[in-house]
A and B are shown apart, each in its own frame.
Chain A
């Protein structure tokens, strides 16, 4: 019955395992051989008790003193068998580690890639940390389980089976005693197991909360100091730390409870075996050696049961981790690379929005009835108040999201039919938050085109009019930018991000407030140089600094999710009382 608990686990666990194995077929590599080795290795645990029984009955308790010849035979035979089982154990472990690590490293990479394939929208709904655990901690729990628990579980049940068979051979009555004590235990343990799973899941969520609070206290260090809220932050930290500790302890208490149940059952069984064993012995059905061996076998029986209770705890964690990984892999990217996607036509790209609507899941409409045609090689500025829909427009244009209704076309091709490879090499967006990787300035610009030499990078900065800025950095191009670029000022990060987009050499460049933190003189200079170097390409700039709009061929004005005005700057300003005229008046007031 104990075996039944694990061999017929809950449906969902079984499903998870099956899905997991289907996704990582490498796990089955040489499974038959590994299992065969496992059987032999496990047999090693049985040979010594049997040797003791044989030794006592045929060597020690022989009439006329111990028979050293018999003992010698038994011991050398057993030692030889131990050599075989140890060797098998080694090869089994080796295969197991190699196969599981290979398979899981494949799963890690697959999951990593899949997370990048998900849309930005989906990526944002998950906490960064939890996405990272999908490719780290969660997979570690699977590997730990497969290498320690999973095999031990199989060995344990093998051991249970073998112990039962041999016990049965010695005495079926005593075997019944053993099973009568452990059978009910299986049900009790099952009940506790559920409590334990609950306790562990609480602990997992508490550790997540704790890490969140610690991260806040680190990332928000300057705010905490500026507002003198050390005490409040310390309280928040203490609470999170303490709650995690309590959750850990609760889990431990339950697991110790389960473990000691096994020990109690073992005590009961041993006592029962002695009572019944003596009765059977008196009836002539059992020898002293057999009864002694039986007591050893009970120990062999108890050990895997206790082991199994512990392993099943790990199993709960591993299955939960596996399920989380599979769940991420199950999410179909809502913005997917089309099968047999087309390449964009060569040359400058025009853009067309046809009847486009967009709403965030469960939210109100952010864009309605957007119909707009942007000819190739035009420089277009998109303006509007915060929340008017201009960033959404940029995201649809670069296919970071797909419209709820309508189509977006690029170079006359529907965006959804264009291969990502072609799209991303020809269309580049510079987001407002100029995220930099923790490497040098050069490394960050090279992100777009790894083959560029330092000289070519310098030329690119020169072309953008940023040569002096690079020269002024402590180590020039080799200056480290720090984590997320934090060693540079916010404006400087934007300069690097812009250079990165520039060297990507796109045919359509989308700038989403890409220079919002740069000083006006630099911005104007940049605008001018960008204008020169992007001649012959299409540029769409989202801006709330209207200098950008003034310099554009054409301005598109958004208000409350709709395009309300469109045309050259001078024409739009002339429309009295219009949204743009008001925006521009306020801009002038601000800057002149």
Chain B
């Protein structure tokens, strides 16, 4: 462990104390009480031997009072120890769990506030481990931390009390305790890189498993189970070897760490014998010091645990800080949109870059109130990017997107959500009921709104057939529904809010043509402007205007007929099926 890690680790611990001062105090007090009583029990045992047992054995008789006093002193010490245990462990546990919860809240709040561009750069698996294992790692030293602090207090107390008994015996402790401490530090230093590596490999093994099970269908249909198992086995074997390495170090240090205080006890016996001979100490002094060494052997290791956890804690803390201090939040303005009826969206010279590569460039067009504009273009042309910009899921790198004449960046979150309804290409369904998935807890959406929206989205039929209707839970990511059903559900979600601007990003691709036609008729009847990403000619033909894009640029804008008459790429795209019909007829002929 480098000194830097030690210093930074201690600062993380300092943060923990600042966050949870009361629980920390309780835990340290409990730990001190426990420590004092641990020493106290050695002292009491020594005293009972000296004042009760030896006189009794020497004189051949004793009094009930002396016996009772001795026995109750021993029991009282135990009771106080229990009190100390409660304070220490409940205090430390409560502190640790509260810190975990508080940082989980902080991290997940950031997930909600950071922009989608940030999300795109951070895989789900990483974000999950930020909120779970990194939080755990950051606060992993907290459980033994108050114990370690208490032990430190106790050690100082022990050394002082030893000096009160005999300075020579105290010197033995001054050799043994620092030796235990040093061994702990050496141990931590040797261990921390190995543990870090094992931890990283654990993550990689888990990633492979996650991805492989996620793509199980592909693995199966390609018959790649054996190859996948090999990929997994290679990483697993690396992990195994790393863990064996960890085990070897632990295996060597554990017995040494146990043996060191025992050697100290033997030293006490030798030194104690000499000092007894010199008349400097009594037998009970030697016994209680020996006992002290036995009982201190264990708590001293708590300091080692804390030190050992520090590198992991710092690594976890750094990853948490990356999230907590990440900048570029999507901030919302305060402007509202007082208008009613269909909204107007305007793109003015909009460019959007992803990692310096423009996804769309200099895009300008308008969706006039109450009109339907179709966004048409080949696969990968940037249509979904435009849809996201219109819903202000992302902001332009340059240029301007306005809704009802107001810069989208100046709109408040509420007015934006109340105005725009986006149906994404891949439907996202929450692990909730059908009703919950449609209302998303938005104010004022009753069952009549839900039913109405389901009707418009042509989803009433299948929802009615579900075992519990609106109350049916749809499972993780809506696995109990088909792709087309999920699309209609997300469409209903958008329609339920009565949006003034509806954005459909190829939102009916998994729906049959007939159903799609009905959906589109319903959408057009809604009192909204519509921006629709589409391939099907019928959908496009319904549009009042078509914006045709290729490779991120607007190639042409106009009615379907106009474009069909003049734009080669557009003609190829929308007449593809007819062309293939014609080709076929030619071949058949």
Contacts and interface: CB of A to CB of B under 8 A. Distances in A.
A237 B246 CA distance: 36
A264 interface: yes
10 contacts: A48-B266, A82-B263, A115-B216, A129-B210, A135-B205, A387-B482, A497-B218, A517-B506, A583-B513, A590-B538
Interface in A526-560: 527-528, 544, 546-547, 550-551
Interface stretch (B10-18, B361-369, B374-382): B374-382
B379 A296 contact: no
A492 B205 CA distance: 28
A85 interface: yes
B353 interface: no
Interface in B160-208: 202, 205-206
A341 B217 CA distance: 22
Contacts of B125: 483
B78 A86 contact: no
B225 A547 contact: no
Interface string B450-462: 0000000000001
Nearest to A546: B513
Contacts of A437: 211, 215
Interface in B207-246: 209-225, 227-229, 232-233, 236-237, 239-240, 243-244, 246
B250 A116 contact: no
Interface string A121-138: 001100111011001100
A282 B60 contact: yes
B251 interface: yes
B423 to A, nearest CB: 9
A271 B108 contact: no
A568 to B, nearest CB: 11
Given A264-B78, A483-B124, 19 more contacts: A44-B258, A45-B258, A60-B286, A66-B276, A86-B255, A101-B243, A101-B244, A112-B229, A228-B416, A229-B442, A248-B93, A249-B93, A252-B90, A270-B45, A275-B67, A288-B57, A291-B53, A484-B214, A582-B514
B229 A551 contact: no
A498 B115 CA distance: 32
Interface stretch (B98-106, B145-153, B310-318, B523-531): B98-106
B220 A120 contact: yes
Contact of A424 (B221, B265, B418): B221
A277 B483 contact: no
Give the size range of A's interface with the partner: 35 or more
B537 to A, nearest CB: 4
A435 interface: yes
Contact of B493 (A59, A210, A227, A428): A227
A292 B49 contact: yes
B36 interface: no
Contacts of B304: none
Interface stretch (B334-342, B344-352, B399-407, B569-577): B569-577
A263 B240 contact: no
A234 B109 contact: yes
A421 interface: yes
Contacts of A259: 85, 89
A212 B132 contact: no
Nearest to B104: A241
B156 interface: no
Interface stretch (A73-81, A318-326, A349-357, A368-376): A73-81
Nearest to A252: B93
Q: Which A-B residue pairs are the 3 nearest by beta carbons? A: A424-B223, A267-B78, A97-B247
Contacts of A242: 101
Interface string A209-230: 0111011111111111111111
Given A222-B424, A264-B79, A229 B440 contact: yes
Nearest to A260: B82
Interface stretch (A2-10, A49-57, A164-172): A49-57
Q: Among A56, A123, A527, A528, which residue has the most Cβ atoms of chain B within 10 A?
A: A56
A72 interface: yes
A287 B58 CA distance: 10
B265 to A, nearest CB: 5
A272 B379 CA distance: 84
Contacts of A229: 417, 440-442
A132 B232 CA distance: 12
B254 interface: yes
Contacts of B578: 592
Contacts of A400: 217, 220-221
A136 B255 contact: no
B101 A271 contact: no
A97 B251 contact: yes
Give the size range of B's interface with the partner: 35 or more
A229 B437 CA distance: 12
B29 interface: no
B581 A550 contact: yes
A278 B52 contact: yes
Given A245-B101, A516-B509, A520-B573, A227 B210 contact: no
Given A264-B79, A271-B74, A590 B539 contact: yes
Interface in A465-498: 469, 472, 474, 482-484, 486-492, 495, 497
Contact of B85 (A263, A421, A486): A263
Q: Among B79, B211, B295, B388, which residue has the most Cβ atoms of chain A within 10 A?
A: B211
A582 B250 CA distance: 73
Contact of B378 (A245, A522, A592): A522
Given A93-B255, A237-B108, A490-B425, A278 B270 contact: no
Interface in A554-592: 582-583, 586-587, 589-592
B431 to A, nearest CB: 6
A500 B219 contact: no
Contacts of B254: 89, 93
Contacts of B112: 217, 221, 224, 230, 233-234
B79 A267 contact: yes
Given A116-B212, A228-B413, A274-B67, A495 B379 contact: yes
A13 interface: no
Contacts of B266: 48, 51, 75, 78-79
Given A93-B254, A215-B128, A234-B112, A71 B269 contact: yes
Contacts of B90: 252-253, 256
Interface string B30-45: 0000000000010001
B139 to A, nearest CB: 12
A586 B513 CA distance: 6
A421 B223 contact: yes
Nearest to B70: A274
A241 B209 CA distance: 25
A65 B277 contact: yes
B262 interface: yes
A248 B93 CA distance: 9
B447 interface: no
Contact of B384 (A232, A489, A590): A489
A437 B232 CA distance: 14
Nearest to A265: B78
Contacts of A129: 210
Contacts of A483: 123-125
Nearest to B511: A386
A54 to B, nearest CB: 9
A447 B227 CA distance: 9
Interface stretch (A17-25, A102-110, A189-197, A408-416): A102-110
